[in-house]
Each structure stands twice: as structure tokens, then as C-alpha cells.
Amino acid sequence: MDVQKRIRQFVVENFYIANPAEVADDTLLVSNGYVDSTGMLEIIAFLEAEFGIRISDSETTPENLESIARIAAFVGRKQGKSAA
């Protein structure tokens, strides 16, 4: 399963999204009320455990974590850095 699909699966299952089709990869998760600040902490913990990355406080920005597509791109950048 690729990174984006795995993140989508986590979000849909853990935040009880009844209709997964309503959350597109570019849907803003916090702004649209799917995830709150506590939920974002759950996502960060999931990303660190699932993908073996470390996320610093300065990286917890909407540009990195506001949508499934942004999260997947962020994980890809983090994994690329750790592989370098």
C-alpha cells in the first residue's frame, strides 16, 4: 500500500468518516472539521510510528499536514532526507 493510501486509511478509520468519498486527497482536514488539534497529534504519532520519521514542532504546519496529499508529500520529503 502506498503512503497516500495508508494515510487515507488511517484518517478514515480513526476519525470515523462515514463516507470516505467526501474526503478528497486535497480536502483540508482541520479547516473542514474532520480532524481537531488532538486528532492532529494522533496523525503525527501515526506518521512517526508507521513511516519511521521524526516530526519536529516547527514542521507541524498546515502546509505539511492539512490534507492527505500534503501529508503524503511531507512524508515523502522526510523519507528522502533520511535516506540521503
* CATH fit for domain 3-82, picks 3.30.70.3000, 3.40.50.1100, 1.10.1200.10, 2.40.30.10: 1.10.1200.10
Single-letter amino acid code for the residue at 72: A
4: confidence class by pLDDT, cuts 50, 70, 90: very high
- Confidence (pTM): 0.91
The SS3 assignment for 68 reads: helix
- pLDDT (tens digit, 9 = 90+) per residue, 25-84? 999 999 999 999 999 999 999 999 999 999 999 999 999 999 999 999 999 999 986 555
What are the residue boundaries of the structural domains of the chain, listed by start?
3-82
Instruction: Transcribe 19-34 into DSSP letters.
Output: -GGGS-TT--TTTTTS
pLDDT at 18: 87
